[in-house]
Amino acid sequence: MEKRRLGRTNLLVSRICLGSMTWGQQNTEAEGHAQMDMAFERGVNFIDTAELYPIPPKAETQGRTEKIIGTWMKAKGNRDKVVLASKVVGRTANEWFRGDRPSKLVRADIVDAVEKSLAKLQTDHLDLYQIHWPDRDIPWGSNPTRVGAPRRADAAAVPDPETPVAETLAVFDELVKAGKIRHFGLSNESSWGVMRFLFEAEKGVGPRVASIQNAYNLLNRTFEVNLAEVCEREDVSLLVYSPLGQGYLTGKYDHGARPQGSRTQLFNRGQRYETPNAAEVQLEYNTLARSFGLDPASFAAAFVLNRPFLTSSIVGATTLGQLETALSAIDVKWTDEMQTAVDAVHQRVGNPCP
Protein backbone atom coordinates (compact mmCIF):
# COMPACT_ATOMS: atom_id res chain seq x y z
CA MET A 1 0.00 0.00 0.00
CA GLU A 2 1.22 3.49 -0.83
CA LYS A 3 2.81 5.41 2.06
CA ARG A 4 2.66 9.17 2.39
CA ARG A 5 4.72 11.58 4.48
CA LEU A 6 3.08 12.92 7.62
CA GLY A 7 3.44 16.69 7.52
CA ARG A 8 7.10 17.68 7.58
CA THR A 9 8.09 14.67 9.67
CA ASN A 10 10.03 11.60 8.57
CA LEU A 11 7.04 9.35 9.26
CA LEU A 12 5.55 7.50 6.29
CA VAL A 13 1.96 6.39 6.87
CA SER A 14 -0.26 4.14 4.79
CA ARG A 15 -2.98 5.75 2.69
CA ILE A 16 -5.47 3.85 4.85
CA CYS A 17 -5.24 4.08 8.64
CA LEU A 18 -6.97 1.56 10.89
CA GLY A 19 -9.44 3.14 13.29
CA SER A 20 -10.14 1.42 16.58
CA MET A 21 -13.02 3.05 18.43
CA THR A 22 -15.30 -0.04 18.40
CA TRP A 23 -12.78 -2.31 20.14
CA GLY A 24 -13.81 -2.91 23.72
CA GLN A 25 -17.49 -2.11 23.20
CA GLN A 26 -18.91 -3.45 19.92
CA ASN A 27 -15.84 -5.64 19.34
CA THR A 28 -14.00 -8.03 21.64
CA GLU A 29 -10.25 -8.11 22.12
CA ALA A 30 -9.99 -11.10 19.75
CA GLU A 31 -11.98 -9.29 17.09
CA GLY A 32 -9.80 -6.21 17.42
CA HIS A 33 -6.70 -8.37 17.04
CA ALA A 34 -8.19 -10.01 13.93
CA GLN A 35 -8.84 -6.61 12.37
CA MET A 36 -5.26 -5.50 13.01
CA ASP A 37 -3.96 -8.76 11.54
CA MET A 38 -5.97 -8.26 8.35
CA ALA A 39 -5.07 -4.60 7.95
CA PHE A 40 -1.35 -5.12 8.43
CA GLU A 41 -1.35 -8.08 6.05
CA ARG A 42 -2.79 -5.68 3.46
CA GLY A 43 -0.09 -3.07 3.92
CA VAL A 44 -1.55 -0.79 6.59
CA ASN A 45 1.09 0.45 9.04
CA PHE A 46 -0.92 3.12 10.85
CA ILE A 47 -3.32 2.71 13.83
CA ASP A 48 -5.33 5.55 15.34
CA THR A 49 -6.80 5.39 18.84
CA ALA A 50 -7.62 7.69 21.78
CA GLU A 51 -7.75 7.65 25.55
CA LEU A 52 -11.52 8.17 25.22
CA TYR A 53 -12.20 4.97 23.25
CA PRO A 54 -14.25 2.86 22.86
CA ILE A 55 -17.31 4.73 21.65
CA PRO A 56 -19.71 5.65 23.16
CA PRO A 57 -17.58 7.16 25.94
CA LYS A 58 -18.33 5.69 29.35
CA ALA A 59 -16.40 5.54 32.60
CA GLU A 60 -16.58 1.74 32.76
CA THR A 61 -15.16 1.18 29.25
CA GLN A 62 -12.75 4.09 28.83
CA GLY A 63 -9.24 2.90 27.93
CA ARG A 64 -10.19 -0.60 26.78
CA THR A 65 -9.26 0.14 23.17
CA GLU A 66 -5.70 1.14 23.98
CA LYS A 67 -5.31 -2.01 26.07
CA ILE A 68 -6.42 -4.17 23.12
CA ILE A 69 -3.86 -2.54 20.84
CA GLY A 70 -1.20 -3.00 23.52
CA THR A 71 -1.82 -6.73 23.89
CA TRP A 72 -1.75 -7.16 20.10
CA MET A 73 1.60 -5.39 19.70
CA LYS A 74 3.07 -7.33 22.63
CA ALA A 75 1.91 -10.66 21.18
CA LYS A 76 3.22 -9.79 17.72
CA GLY A 77 6.41 -8.11 18.91
CA ASN A 78 5.90 -5.55 16.16
CA ARG A 79 5.90 -2.16 17.86
CA ASP A 80 8.66 -0.99 15.51
CA LYS A 81 6.40 -1.75 12.51
CA VAL A 82 3.45 0.31 13.79
CA VAL A 83 2.91 4.03 13.38
CA LEU A 84 0.86 4.54 16.52
CA ALA A 85 -1.38 7.56 17.12
CA SER A 86 -3.49 8.38 20.15
CA LYS A 87 -5.30 11.43 21.52
CA VAL A 88 -5.84 13.36 24.73
CA VAL A 89 -9.38 14.59 25.36
CA GLY A 90 -10.08 18.30 25.05
CA ARG A 91 -12.02 20.23 27.64
CA THR A 92 -14.76 18.11 29.21
CA ALA A 93 -16.85 18.10 32.35
CA ASN A 94 -16.58 14.30 32.54
CA GLU A 95 -14.40 13.42 35.52
CA TRP A 96 -13.51 9.81 34.75
CA PHE A 97 -10.53 10.65 32.51
CA ARG A 98 -8.56 12.30 35.31
CA GLY A 99 -10.25 10.39 38.10
CA ASP A 100 -11.42 13.25 40.27
CA ARG A 101 -11.95 16.39 38.19
CA PRO A 102 -13.04 17.72 34.80
CA SER A 103 -10.29 17.71 32.18
CA LYS A 104 -8.77 20.51 30.17
CA LEU A 105 -5.61 21.01 28.14
CA VAL A 106 -3.26 21.96 30.97
CA ARG A 107 0.01 20.30 31.95
CA ALA A 108 -1.25 18.06 34.75
CA ASP A 109 -4.05 16.64 32.63
CA ILE A 110 -2.03 16.10 29.45
CA VAL A 111 0.80 14.41 31.36
CA ASP A 112 -1.69 12.21 33.19
CA ALA A 113 -3.31 11.25 29.88
CA VAL A 114 -0.12 10.35 28.05
CA GLU A 115 1.27 8.31 30.94
CA LYS A 116 -1.95 6.28 31.16
CA SER A 117 -2.04 5.75 27.39
CA LEU A 118 1.57 4.57 27.27
CA ALA A 119 0.90 2.08 30.07
CA LYS A 120 -2.22 0.66 28.38
CA LEU A 121 -0.51 0.49 24.99
CA GLN A 122 2.56 -1.17 26.57
CA THR A 123 4.96 1.16 24.80
CA ASP A 124 7.37 3.91 25.77
CA HIS A 125 6.37 6.39 23.06
CA LEU A 126 3.63 7.47 20.68
CA ASP A 127 4.49 8.34 17.10
CA LEU A 128 1.70 10.90 16.92
CA TYR A 129 -0.15 12.44 19.86
CA GLN A 130 -3.21 14.51 19.05
CA ILE A 131 -5.58 16.87 20.82
CA HIS A 132 -8.96 15.17 20.36
CA TRP A 133 -10.91 18.45 20.34
CA PRO A 134 -10.08 22.04 21.29
CA ASP A 135 -10.15 23.57 24.73
CA ARG A 136 -12.21 26.39 23.22
CA ASP A 137 -16.01 26.47 23.32
CA ILE A 138 -16.73 26.00 19.61
CA PRO A 139 -19.12 23.76 17.64
CA TRP A 140 -18.16 20.09 17.55
CA GLY A 141 -15.78 19.39 14.68
CA SER A 142 -14.96 23.09 14.37
CA ASN A 143 -17.04 23.17 11.19
CA PRO A 144 -19.52 25.72 9.88
CA THR A 145 -22.86 24.50 11.22
CA ARG A 146 -26.50 25.03 10.47
CA VAL A 147 -28.19 28.09 11.97
CA GLY A 148 -29.07 27.48 15.57
CA ALA A 149 -26.80 24.46 16.02
CA PRO A 150 -25.71 24.06 19.65
CA ARG A 151 -22.16 24.55 20.79
CA ARG A 152 -20.40 21.84 22.79
CA ALA A 153 -22.59 21.26 25.84
CA ASP A 154 -19.85 19.83 28.03
CA ALA A 155 -17.49 22.77 27.49
CA ALA A 156 -20.01 25.19 28.95
CA ALA A 157 -20.17 23.08 32.09
CA VAL A 158 -16.55 23.96 32.89
CA PRO A 159 -16.48 27.55 34.20
CA ASP A 160 -12.73 28.21 33.91
CA PRO A 161 -11.38 30.37 31.07
CA GLU A 162 -10.05 28.47 28.06
CA THR A 163 -6.44 27.33 28.23
CA PRO A 164 -4.13 29.45 26.04
CA VAL A 165 -2.73 27.64 23.01
CA ALA A 166 0.83 28.51 24.00
CA GLU A 167 0.35 26.94 27.43
CA THR A 168 -0.96 23.73 25.91
CA LEU A 169 1.71 23.55 23.21
CA ALA A 170 4.50 23.97 25.76
CA VAL A 171 3.41 20.72 27.42
CA PHE A 172 3.70 18.85 24.12
CA ASP A 173 7.19 20.30 23.79
CA GLU A 174 8.09 18.67 27.12
CA LEU A 175 6.69 15.35 25.94
CA VAL A 176 8.70 15.43 22.72
CA LYS A 177 11.90 16.29 24.57
CA ALA A 178 11.22 13.47 27.06
CA GLY A 179 10.83 11.01 24.18
CA LYS A 180 7.25 10.12 25.13
CA ILE A 181 5.82 11.38 21.84
CA ARG A 182 7.48 11.93 18.47
CA HIS A 183 5.05 14.29 16.76
CA PHE A 184 2.04 16.47 17.54
CA GLY A 185 -1.35 16.68 15.84
CA LEU A 186 -4.78 18.27 16.12
CA SER A 187 -8.31 16.94 15.64
CA ASN A 188 -11.72 18.55 15.16
CA GLU A 189 -9.88 21.82 14.71
CA SER A 190 -10.57 24.99 12.73
CA SER A 191 -8.41 27.04 10.37
CA TRP A 192 -7.83 29.61 13.10
CA GLY A 193 -6.81 26.90 15.55
CA VAL A 194 -4.30 25.33 13.17
CA MET A 195 -2.75 28.68 12.34
CA ARG A 196 -2.58 29.67 16.01
CA PHE A 197 -0.70 26.48 16.91
CA LEU A 198 1.63 27.03 13.94
CA PHE A 199 2.21 30.63 15.01
CA GLU A 200 3.20 29.59 18.52
CA ALA A 201 5.48 26.85 17.17
CA GLU A 202 7.23 29.35 14.89
CA LYS A 203 7.84 31.49 18.00
CA GLY A 204 9.63 28.49 19.50
CA VAL A 205 6.95 27.55 22.03
CA GLY A 206 6.60 23.89 21.04
CA PRO A 207 6.44 21.31 18.26
CA ARG A 208 5.00 22.07 14.84
CA VAL A 209 1.59 20.65 13.96
CA ALA A 210 2.12 17.58 11.77
CA SER A 211 -1.50 16.67 11.08
CA ILE A 212 -5.16 17.43 11.57
CA GLN A 213 -7.79 14.71 11.97
CA ASN A 214 -11.19 16.00 10.88
CA ALA A 215 -14.36 14.51 9.47
CA TYR A 216 -14.58 14.54 5.67
CA ASN A 217 -16.95 12.68 3.38
CA LEU A 218 -19.57 13.18 0.67
CA LEU A 219 -21.93 14.68 3.25
CA ASN A 220 -19.35 16.97 4.83
CA ARG A 221 -16.80 18.66 2.57
CA THR A 222 -16.26 21.67 4.84
CA PHE A 223 -12.52 20.92 4.96
CA GLU A 224 -12.34 22.26 1.41
CA VAL A 225 -13.60 25.72 2.44
CA ASN A 226 -10.53 27.02 4.30
CA LEU A 227 -8.59 24.19 5.88
CA ALA A 228 -7.47 22.70 2.56
CA GLU A 229 -5.47 25.83 1.75
CA VAL A 230 -4.07 26.09 5.26
CA CYS A 231 -2.91 22.48 5.25
CA GLU A 232 -1.48 22.59 1.73
CA ARG A 233 0.52 25.76 2.29
CA GLU A 234 1.67 24.79 5.79
CA ASP A 235 2.41 21.09 5.12
CA VAL A 236 -0.14 19.83 7.65
CA SER A 237 -1.43 16.37 6.76
CA LEU A 238 -5.14 15.61 6.64
CA LEU A 239 -6.17 12.41 8.40
CA VAL A 240 -9.83 11.86 7.52
CA TYR A 241 -12.20 10.30 10.00
CA SER A 242 -15.73 9.15 9.17
CA PRO A 243 -15.16 8.65 5.41
CA LEU A 244 -18.43 6.67 5.33
CA GLY A 245 -20.41 9.26 7.24
CA GLN A 246 -20.79 7.09 10.34
CA GLY A 247 -22.24 4.33 8.15
CA TYR A 248 -24.91 6.47 6.49
CA LEU A 249 -22.99 6.26 3.20
CA THR A 250 -23.05 2.45 3.17
CA GLY A 251 -26.74 2.26 2.31
CA LYS A 252 -27.64 0.30 5.44
CA TYR A 253 -29.72 3.18 6.84
CA ASP A 254 -31.52 4.01 3.58
CA HIS A 255 -35.30 4.50 3.82
CA GLY A 256 -35.07 4.76 7.62
CA ALA A 257 -33.68 1.26 8.19
CA ARG A 258 -31.91 0.65 11.51
CA PRO A 259 -30.25 -2.77 11.28
CA GLN A 260 -29.94 -4.77 14.49
CA GLY A 261 -26.47 -4.32 15.97
CA SER A 262 -25.64 -1.15 14.03
CA ARG A 263 -24.16 1.74 15.98
CA THR A 264 -27.18 3.96 15.46
CA GLN A 265 -29.54 1.21 16.59
CA LEU A 266 -27.42 0.34 19.63
CA PHE A 267 -26.42 3.77 20.86
CA ASN A 268 -28.65 6.39 19.20
CA ARG A 269 -25.59 8.48 18.34
CA GLY A 270 -26.35 9.37 14.72
CA GLN A 271 -27.55 12.93 15.24
CA ARG A 272 -24.71 14.43 13.20
CA TYR A 273 -26.01 12.50 10.18
CA GLU A 274 -29.72 12.93 10.94
CA THR A 275 -30.00 16.63 10.18
CA PRO A 276 -32.92 18.03 8.12
CA ASN A 277 -32.89 16.62 4.56
CA ALA A 278 -29.87 14.40 5.34
CA ALA A 279 -31.71 11.14 4.64
CA GLU A 280 -32.69 12.27 1.16
CA VAL A 281 -29.14 13.35 0.33
CA GLN A 282 -27.66 10.11 1.68
CA LEU A 283 -30.03 8.10 -0.47
CA GLU A 284 -29.08 10.19 -3.49
CA TYR A 285 -25.35 9.52 -3.04
CA ASN A 286 -25.97 5.83 -2.34
CA THR A 287 -28.13 5.55 -5.45
CA LEU A 288 -25.45 7.35 -7.46
CA ALA A 289 -22.87 4.80 -6.28
CA ARG A 290 -25.05 1.93 -7.50
CA SER A 291 -25.49 3.64 -10.88
CA PHE A 292 -21.72 3.27 -11.32
CA GLY A 293 -21.96 -0.42 -10.40
CA LEU A 294 -20.38 0.05 -6.97
CA ASP A 295 -21.43 -0.73 -3.43
CA PRO A 296 -22.15 2.62 -1.70
CA ALA A 297 -19.47 1.97 0.94
CA SER A 298 -16.81 1.36 -1.73
CA PHE A 299 -17.89 4.45 -3.63
CA ALA A 300 -17.83 6.75 -0.60
CA ALA A 301 -14.48 5.39 0.58
CA ALA A 302 -12.93 5.74 -2.89
CA PHE A 303 -14.10 9.36 -3.10
CA VAL A 304 -12.13 10.21 0.02
CA LEU A 305 -9.08 8.15 -0.95
CA ASN A 306 -8.79 10.04 -4.23
CA ARG A 307 -8.90 13.57 -2.87
CA PRO A 308 -5.62 15.35 -3.66
CA PHE A 309 -5.23 16.79 -0.15
CA LEU A 310 -5.58 13.47 1.69
CA THR A 311 -2.70 11.87 3.56
CA SER A 312 -4.60 8.96 5.16
CA SER A 313 -8.22 7.85 5.51
CA ILE A 314 -9.13 6.32 8.87
CA VAL A 315 -11.45 3.35 8.47
CA GLY A 316 -13.31 1.54 11.21
CA ALA A 317 -15.28 -1.68 11.16
CA THR A 318 -17.15 -4.07 13.40
CA THR A 319 -16.75 -7.09 11.08
CA LEU A 320 -13.94 -8.39 8.93
CA GLY A 321 -16.28 -8.15 5.96
CA GLN A 322 -16.71 -4.42 6.52
CA LEU A 323 -12.97 -4.02 6.89
CA GLU A 324 -12.39 -5.93 3.65
CA THR A 325 -14.71 -3.51 1.82
CA ALA A 326 -12.89 -0.52 3.28
CA LEU A 327 -9.44 -1.87 2.39
CA SER A 328 -10.50 -2.89 -1.11
CA ALA A 329 -11.71 0.64 -1.88
CA ILE A 330 -8.11 1.56 -2.55
CA ASP A 331 -8.35 -0.50 -5.76
CA VAL A 332 -11.47 1.29 -7.04
CA LYS A 333 -10.70 3.33 -10.15
CA TRP A 334 -12.10 6.76 -9.40
CA THR A 335 -13.04 8.44 -12.68
CA ASP A 336 -13.59 12.01 -13.83
CA GLU A 337 -17.20 11.03 -14.49
CA MET A 338 -17.65 9.99 -10.85
CA GLN A 339 -16.09 13.20 -9.60
CA THR A 340 -18.28 15.32 -11.86
CA ALA A 341 -21.37 13.46 -10.66
CA VAL A 342 -20.66 13.92 -6.93
CA ASP A 343 -19.66 17.56 -7.47
CA ALA A 344 -23.01 18.18 -9.16
CA VAL A 345 -24.86 16.81 -6.15
CA HIS A 346 -22.63 18.74 -3.75
CA GLN A 347 -23.17 21.99 -5.64
CA ARG A 348 -26.91 21.58 -5.11
CA VAL A 349 -27.09 20.17 -1.54
CA GLY A 350 -23.89 21.48 0.08
CA ASN A 351 -22.81 20.00 3.41
CA PRO A 352 -25.92 18.63 5.13
CA CYS A 353 -23.98 16.93 7.94
CA PRO A 354 -21.07 19.12 9.13
Per-domain boundaries in the chain:
3-250+300-330
As a whole number of angstroms, the distance between CA 198 and CA 165 comes to 10
pLDDT values of the chain reduced to their tens digit, one per residue, 354 residues: 999 999 999 999 999 999 999 999 999 999 999 999 999 999 999 999 999 999 999 999 999 999 999 999 999 999 999 999 999 999 999 999 999 899 999 999 999 999 999 999 999 999 999 999 999 888 777 665 544 454 554 554 545 789 999 999 999 999 999 999 999 999 999 999 999 999 999 999 999 999 999 999 999 999 999 999 999 999 999 999 999 999 999 999 989 888 888 788 788 777 889 888 999 999 999 999 999 999 999 999 999 999 999 999 999 999 999 999 999 999 999 999 999 999 999 999 999 998
285 is catalytic: no
Closest to 44 (Cα-Cα) out of 332, 323, 334: 323
Backbone angles phi, psi at 92, to 5 degrees: -150, 145
Gyration radius (Cα) of the chain, Å = 19
Catalytic residue among 53, 129, 216, 253: 53
Count of all residues that appear for the chain in the document: 354
Q: Are 70 and 122 in contact (CB under 8 A)?
A: yes
Q: Can you give the pTM of this predicted structure?
A: 0.94
Return the half-sphere exposure (C-beta side, CA atoms, 13 A cut-off) of residue 286: 18
Backbone angles phi, psi at 260, to 5 degrees: -60, 130
Fold of 3-250+300-330: TIM Barrel (3.20.20)
